Amino acid sequence: MGLRKPFLLFIILPVFLGFTTCGIDEYFYLPQISQGTESATGVKIMLPSISSNFYYASSYVIFYKIYLSNAIHETTINISLFNDISTHLVNDWNNLRRFVDSTTTSIPARSDFFDRGYYELQFQTSNLLRVTPGTTPSRNMEIIFNPAEPAEILMDNVSQGNILRNDSFEHSPNADFLSSDELRSNENAGKGNVYNHDVAALESTGTALYAYVSMFILTSGTNPTSFNPIFSKPTHLGVFLLRS
């Protein structure tokens, strides 16, 4: 019996060292952005500076989707109103909320948004949300949905132009976030049509009375070992009525 203990240690020690020195991938994650302040006409949120420890971070990214509706809500929109606006909105939220929840470890891939019809927001100002870890300071971002004007984005209270719909498909009538008959047409909505892949149609036929947009913001970067894109947990910016 006395001879077995050293022999067992001789076997276990190399195996343990093997697990601690190879075969276990390093886990790279990115920080989730704190919740902003929503209103009926937009959202304000602080984009924090990113530590050099997250050297693989490259930018913030916003995913959005437009929902057609016959319900009008001109106040700050909370979750209790989602079903009244669109069942598509409810279904998407129920699928994506697990990523938003800071108490879970679920991290999304780009496909989790794209497969549900969410697209990456674009801007008139190039590289607007790009960051250099350890260098780029924190900034206050605001998105405003004004009546009769395209939605715009401000950084530290300075306008950076309009926010724009993704350019990977045709838009009807254009790339601005403004409500119009063309945007609210069921015939133009959805990935199966020529136009407006970023729009969820009404459950009924015809032209909707209103349109809303839902947005999520994430930190994005590149895994330095696999070189695959990675994201933080998303923060829901809110749901907003598009103005005519």
The predicted pLDDT at position 25 comes to 56
Q: Is pLDDT of 148 > 60?
A: yes
Tally: H helices and E strands in the chain: 4, 12
The predicted pLDDT at position 221 comes to 98
Q: What is the mean pLDDT of the chain?
A: 90
How do residues 215-239 score in pLDDT, each as one tens digit?
A: 999 999 999 999 999 999 999 999 9
Give the full edge-to-edge strand order of the sheet including 37-39: 37-39, 42-47, 139-144, 152-155, 158-164, 122-123
Q: What are phi and psi of 57, to 5 degrees?
A: -75, 150
Mean pLDDT of 139-163: 96
% of residues, the chain, pLDDT over 90: 82
Length of the chain: 244
213 in Cβ contact with 239 (< 8 Å): yes
How do residues 56-101 score in pLDDT, each as one tens digit?
A: 999 999 999 999 999 999 999 999 999 999 999 999 999 999 999 9
Mean pLDDT of 21-43: 84
Which residues neighbour 238 within 8 Å (Cβ) at sequence distance 6 or greater? 36, 38, 43, 76, 77, 214, 215
The predicted pLDDT at position 42 comes to 97
How do residues 174-221 score in pLDDT, each as one tens digit?
A: 999 999 999 999 989 998 888 999 999 998 878 899 999 999 999 999
Q: Is pLDDT of 8 > 70?
A: no
Question: Token match 């607007």: residue?
Answer: 128
Q: What does the DSSP 8-state code read for residue 215?
A: E
The predicted pLDDT at position 49 comes to 96
